[in-house]
Amino acid sequence: MENMKRDLGDVLKLDAYGPRIVGIRSARIRYLKLKLYVRLDFVSGELLQSLQYAEITCTNAVDYAIRPPDPNILMGGPLIELHEQHPRLEHRDLQDVPGGDGEEFEPPLKFKLLILDQTYVIAEEFEIQPWQPTASNGAL
């Protein structure tokens, strides 16, 4: 499935109404790489209708908060948002290397903000690919 990875920004541009986040099934972090396993819903976009479950890879994830879905959402869920400019991206501490004792990224990294309902991730790059939940990957 590695060859099916696509830039999340490009995928979001394909659908005028955008994919909606139904829920986050699981998350895995390894140093600065965060993987979110999510369930999606598409209002339109015939090309993407088959993408119900996806793995979102967040490269150089320097800040994130994974929160439960809003209990007031009955159907569909909110749109997935990806921002290149946002007030959260202006915080100076984002350039600090995690565990680097004050060391900063050199050259400075260009971050983006991904918002999934009440969850957010600040990372350098976001990729999405199909994912199928199974008992072996702990998703069922």
- In the three-class reduction of DSSP (H, G, I as helix; E, B as strand; rest coil), residue 74 is classed as coil
Domain count, the chain: 1
Q: Which of 133, 120, 126, 138 is nearest to 21 (CA)?
A: 120
Looking at per-residue pLDDT, the higher value among 74 and 24 belongs to 24
Q: What is the pLDDT of residues 101-124, one digit of tens each?
A: 888 888 888 999 999 989 999 999
DSSP 37: E
Q: Which domain holds residue 55?
A: 2-130
Residue 138 lies in a domain: no
Cα separation, 131 vs 38, whole angstroms: 9
Cα separation, 28 vs 31, whole angstroms: 10
Per-residue pLDDT at 36: 95
Per-residue pLDDT at 137: 63
Residue 136 lies in a domain: no
Strands 112-116, 81-83: pairing kind: antiparallel
Residue 135 lies in a domain: no
